[in-house]
Amino acid sequence: MINRAKILTRSIWVFHFASAPCNNCDIEILDVLTPRFDVERFGIKLVASIKHADCLLVCGMINRKGAPLLKKLYEMAPKPLAVVAFGSCASSQGIFKDSYMRTLPADELIPVNAYIPGCPPRPEAIIDGVVKVIKKLKGEI
């Protein structure tokens, strides 16, 4: 019998949604793809369209332009989908919590499965987050 969770966690295609981040998080995400960390070993790769994605990576403080787009992206994505709030801004609005452009943290707009805090998170932290998501999907945590 084909093991659903095993297949889903062996091939995770990530769509990166950047709602006006300061680019630090984005650069750390690219770091994870570089030779030093190489997450393609685990079948993880970045895709360009949300329709191909298994994981939605939310970056940056969600502002008034970004919030409706984020909701739309979540609705468009083929399920099952894992949502990861990436960095302090997406998780809890970080240093922008008093900004006039803020809306809500990502988890109050769409269901979030995992948080990777940090400003920006280190690549090790990102891989740790990925491992936790995979374990959660497999029901080990």
Partner 1 sequence: MLFALAAGILASWIERKVTARVQWRVGPPLLQPLYDILKLFIKENVIPENASTMTFVLAPVISFAVAALVATFAGLPAFYPSSGFSGDIFVVMYLLMIPSLALIMGGAASANPLASLGSSREMKLILSYELVFWISIAVVIVKTGGTISIAGIMSHTTAPQALSPSGAIAFILALLSMQAKLGRVPFDVAEAETEITSGPYIEYSGPLLGFFKMSQYILLVALPLFVSEVFLGRANVVKYVVLLVVIVLIENTNPRLKITQCLKLFWFILSPLCIIALILALAGL
Interface residue list for partner 1 (CB under 8 A): 2, 4, 7-8, 10-11, 34-35, 38, 40-41, 43, 47-49, 51-52, 54, 76-80
Q: How far is the CB of 115 from partner 1 (least distance, A)?
A: 24
Instruction: State the burial class of residue 104 (Cβ atoms within 10 Å of its Cβ: 0-12, 13-18, 19+).
Output: exposed
Nearer residue to partner 1 within complex by CB, 44 or 109: 44
Q: Under 8 Å CB-to-CB from 141, ≥6 apart: which residues?
A: 132, 135
Q: How far is the CB of 110 from partner 1 (least distance, A)?
A: 16
Q: How far is the CB of 50 from partner 1 (least distance, A)?
A: 9
Is residue 81 within 8 A of residue 56, CB to CB? The reply is yes
Nearer residue to partner 1 within complex by CB, 71 or 97: 71
**24-33 vs 123-138: helix crossing angle, rounded to 10:** 70
